[in-house]
A and B are shown apart, each in its own frame.
Chain A
Amino acid sequence: MSKGLETLISIRNLKKWFPVRRGFFQAILSGEQQYIKAVDNISFDVRKGEIFGLAGESGCGKTTTGKTILRLLEPTGGKVYFEEQDVFSFGKRELKEYRKKAQIIYQDPYESLDPRMMIYNFVAEPLLIHKIGGLEERVADALERTELTPPEEFFHRFPHELSGGQRQRVAIARAMILNPEFIVADEPVSMLDASIRSSILELMFKLRDELGISYLYITHDLATARQVCDRLAIMYLGKIMEQASIDKLLANPLHPYTQALIAAVPVPDPTAEKSRAMIKGEVPSPIDLPKGCRFNTRCPYANDRCIKEEPELVEVDKDHYVACYFPLI
């Protein structure tokens, strides 16, 4: 593995707020514009050759984070540095260059592929956009690398002729064709069946090892995160609650939320402890965030301080960060 400590991409105080749409009267009557604070001041680094996981329940802001980093969404605040360049200050031309280096794989290969585009055209499209020649050779190479062989057999097929796993390979081939350095993989296997899933993850691993690609791996599934990630950050309502190496985080979770998440995951072993719901209720609305720590409404340990002040993400152990006044040490 070519995992260094060198940083590829730095996210600093990133914010993405979506304005809540209001009707005419509502706008007149209540003065203040409300926001959904999907991503609310988060910072982390992805190192070269690393698979950095971002996990959390639906609506915690993990996908928005991925899209904002790639500037598929414009940020509300904060900075992203890619190889020390400020991504949010990029003009049109620089952004186009950035898109060559930073790509995305989406969750649902049944929706992310254009049903009317032949595989060849779909995979070659980025080359056309960036005016790069040698199409046929490059497409064949990309398909081969994603184990769609022989590649010529796939050139003239349409997405509906392929299985879910094959479609996801096509999506990966397209993401790979410009030789990117960084890929946001947004739940790349959650729509796939178990027997297919591990072959896609294995492929991602192989591409990392062979080409040194770094990934931001977005997932809700801690069990697969454990198989692929080097480090993991746990998000809740737009904030990172805890971040550490995957082993540390799962073996020694310090945030009550992380602990609850881990306890809730069922284990494919009948002798293991049963899954437990340590916390009640569901995630509150992101429009009306709880004051203080945003987890305080569900936290079994919350007290006065947690209701008033919001804890910062601090390093409590080497490379282990937690945003909690009362970490479970």
Chain B
Amino acid sequence: MSLLDIQDLKTYFTTGRGTVKAVDGISLNLDEGDSLGLAGESGCGKTTTALSIMRLLPSNGQVLSGKILFKGIDLLEVEEEKFRRNYRWKQVSIIFQGAMNALNPVFRVGDQITQAIRIHEEITKDDAWSKVEELFSLVGINPKRARDYPHEFSGGMKQRAMIALALACNPAFVIADEPVTALDVIVQAQILELMRGLRQKLGLSMIMITHDLSVIADTCNKAAIMYAGRIVEQADIMTIFKHPRHPYSQGLLANYPSIKGEIKKFAPISGRPPNLISPPPGCRFHPRCPYADEVCKRERPKIVEVARGHYVACLKA
């Protein structure tokens, strides 16, 4: 049984200009111990997927249909109170994008984390503090620094503190939303090393959301590529990077800059991602796809398993 099995999830937002079909029927699965990279351009629905799993959608967002099976239980069916008590942070946890800048400047970093722990677990303040110190050494911060204020932390340390916060209630599954995006390359390498280490040490399963394909090749064992609210391809990273079948994945990878290997010529994908209020009918990639024909304009491609563990949503693949 998969640890997480998302089936045909639809999450829409109501806005003044119309309904944004941010996540429009995605299916995704990962096994225990997997680290799945969820890639795609801005606005393709990566973060909405994460917030749907965490049940933390803003008030104008709503899951319309689908299932999010976690260890066989549909998280969307669990009562809110029970979800809060037993699942959110305890079993499924998230490192929010840019959260390192959301630390409250007037409280000590340790205080902010103990507070979070004590909301979820009935332990004394002292025990919570020792838990924080334990977490800090786990993520590579000197435990004494828990008494510092956020401005005394560097960018990398703040991000480590956010990872500590996500791990505070010993979750089995963590979503990391662009965890290294704002960091410089050496600090990024330090954080990626930490995350690879934690995954091994704690046996964590992860979804790593990123727009950077090289981060996925570097830290994940599986990858899913999203485009305009849908998943176009999912497979293990070898297959995704070496034998992508979807024209969008192929286009992205064909001109993805790399510091090693042959220097790639520019081969931009023409056009730009669609507006998700009125997305194109049929395959959403068809206006930009070099292989598209009449059928692609009409028919929505289903995601099918083309080889073991390799899923593609394309009528031409």
A interface residues with partner B (beta carbon < 8 Å): 57-58, 163, 165, 193-196, 198-199, 201-202, 205, 220-224, 226-227, 250, 260-272, 274-277, 279-280, 282-283
Q: Given the complex of chains A and B, what is the CA–CA distance between A222 and B188 in angstroms?
A: 14
* A267: B residues at CB distance < 8 A: 214, 217-218, 258-261
Q: Given the complex of chains A and B, what is the CA–CA distance between A81 and B269 in angstroms?
A: 40
Cβ of B186 and Cβ of A269 under 8 Å apart?
no
Cβ of A260 and Cβ of B257 under 8 Å apart?
no
- Among B42, B259, B261, residue most surrounded by chain A Cβ atoms (within 10 Å): B259
Q: Given the complex of chains A and B, what is the CA–CA distance between A265 and B212 in angstroms?
A: 11
* A201: B residues at CB distance < 8 A: 266
Cβ of B257 and Cβ of A57 under 8 Å apart?
no
Cβ of A264 and Cβ of B272 under 8 Å apart?
no
* Interface residues as binary, B35-62 with A (CB distance below 8 Å gives 1, 0 otherwise): 0000001100000000000000000000
From B129-137, B189-197, B293-301, the one touching the partner chain is B189-197
Cβ of B41 and Cβ of A264 under 8 Å apart?
no
Q: Given the complex of chains A and B, what is the CA–CA distance between A261 and B251 in angstroms?
A: 28
Q: Given the complex of chains A and B, what is the CA–CA distance between A152 and B211 in angstroms?
A: 34
Closest B residue to A279 by beta carbon equals: B186
Pick from A165, A224, A269, A275: contact of B192, CB under 8 Å: A275
Q: Given the complex of chains A and B, what is the CA–CA distance between A226 and B154 in angstroms?
A: 29
Known: A222-B259, A262-B259. A268 touches B189 (CB 8 A): no
Cβ of A223 and Cβ of B257 under 8 Å apart?
yes
Cβ of B217 and Cβ of A266 under 8 Å apart?
yes
- B187 interface hit (Cβ, 8 Å): yes
* A227: B residues at CB distance < 8 A: 257, 263-264, 266
Pick from A58, A196, A223: contact of B259, CB under 8 Å: A223
Cβ of B258 and Cβ of A269 under 8 Å apart?
yes
Q: Given the complex of chains A and B, what is the CA–CA distance between A103 and B206 in angstroms?
A: 45
Cβ of B258 and Cβ of A57 under 8 Å apart?
no
Cβ of B260 and Cβ of A264 under 8 Å apart?
no
- B253 interface hit (Cβ, 8 Å): yes
Q: How far is the CB of B102 from chain A (nearest CB, A)?
A: 19
Known: A201-B266, A220-B185, A277-B189. A268 touches B255 (CB 8 A): no
- Among B41, B218, B273, residue most surrounded by chain A Cβ atoms (within 10 Å): B218
* A163: B residues at CB distance < 8 A: 272
Q: Given the complex of chains A and B, what is the CA–CA distance between A227 and B257 in angstroms?
A: 7
Cβ of A270 and Cβ of B238 under 8 Å apart?
yes
- B78 interface hit (Cβ, 8 Å): no
* A221: B residues at CB distance < 8 A: 257
Q: Given the complex of chains A and B, what is the CA–CA distance between A303 and B52 in angstroms?
A: 53
Q: Given the complex of chains A and B, what is the CA–CA distance between A196 and B256 in angstroms?
A: 11
Q: Can you name 9 A-B residue pairings with CB atoms under 8 Å? A: A195-B268, A195-B273, A202-B266, A265-B185, A268-B258, A269-B217, A272-B261, A274-B218, A279-B186
* B64: A residues at CB distance < 8 A: none
- B110 interface hit (Cβ, 8 Å): no
Closest A residue to B190 by beta carbon equals: A277
Cβ of A195 and Cβ of B266 under 8 Å apart?
no
Q: Given the complex of chains A and B, what is the CA–CA distance between A252 and B253 in angstroms?
A: 26
* A222: B residues at CB distance < 8 A: 185, 259
Q: Given the complex of chains A and B, what is the CA–CA distance between A263 and B196 in angstroms?
A: 16
* Chain B residues numbered 238-280 whose CB sits less than 8 Å from any CB in chain A: 238, 241-242, 251-253, 255-261, 263-264, 266-269, 272-273
Known: A265-B214, A266-B192, A272-B260. A198 touches B272 (CB 8 A): no
* A165: B residues at CB distance < 8 A: 272
Count of chain A to chain B residue pairs whose CB atoms are closer than 8 Å in the complex: 130
* A270: B residues at CB distance < 8 A: 217, 237-238, 241-242
Cβ of B253 and Cβ of A268 under 8 Å apart?
yes
Cβ of A57 and Cβ of B184 under 8 Å apart?
yes
- Among A194, A263, A274, A279, residue most surrounded by chain B Cβ atoms (within 10 Å): A194
- Among A196, A220, A264, A271, residue most surrounded by chain B Cβ atoms (within 10 Å): A264
Q: How far is the CB of A260 from chain B (nearest CB, A)?
A: 6
- Among B155, B156, B187, B216, residue most surrounded by chain A Cβ atoms (within 10 Å): B187
Known: A222-B259, A226-B263, A267-B214. A194 touches B252 (CB 8 A): yes
Would you list the 5 A-B pairs with minimal beta carbon distance, nearest first? A264-B189, A266-B218, A199-B268, A223-B257, A193-B41
Q: Given the complex of chains A and B, what is the CA–CA distance between A148 and B273 in angstroms?
A: 17
Q: Given the complex of chains A and B, what is the CA–CA distance between A199 and B215 in angstroms?
A: 22
Cβ of B184 and Cβ of A198 under 8 Å apart?
no
* A283: B residues at CB distance < 8 A: 184
- B28 interface hit (Cβ, 8 Å): no
Pick from A198, A202, A269: contact of B261, CB under 8 Å: A269
Q: Given the complex of chains A and B, what is the CA–CA distance between A227 and B263 in angstroms?
A: 6
- Among A220, A223, A224, A250, residue most surrounded by chain B Cβ atoms (within 10 Å): A223
Further contacts, 5 of them, CB under 8 A, given A275-B188, A282-B187 = A198-B266, A226-B258, A268-B217, A269-B260, A276-B189
* Chain B residues numbered 189-228 whose CB sits less than 8 Å from any CB in chain A: 189-190, 192-193, 196, 211-219
Q: How far is the CB of B137 from chain A (nearest CB, A)?
A: 16
* B219: A residues at CB distance < 8 A: 266, 274
* A205: B residues at CB distance < 8 A: 266
* B259: A residues at CB distance < 8 A: 222-223, 226, 250, 262, 265, 267
Q: Given the complex of chains A and B, what is the CA–CA distance between A13 and B225 in angstroms?
A: 48
Pick from A224, A226, A261, A268: contact of B185, CB under 8 Å: A261
Cβ of B241 and Cβ of A196 under 8 Å apart?
no
Q: How far is the CB of B197 from chain A (nearest CB, A)?
A: 11
Closest B residue to A166 by beta carbon equals: B272
* A250: B residues at CB distance < 8 A: 259
Cβ of B266 and Cβ of A196 under 8 Å apart?
no
Q: Given the complex of chains A and B, what is the CA–CA distance between A199 and B254 in angstroms?
A: 13
Cβ of A224 and Cβ of B186 under 8 Å apart?
no
Closest B residue to A250 by beta carbon equals: B259
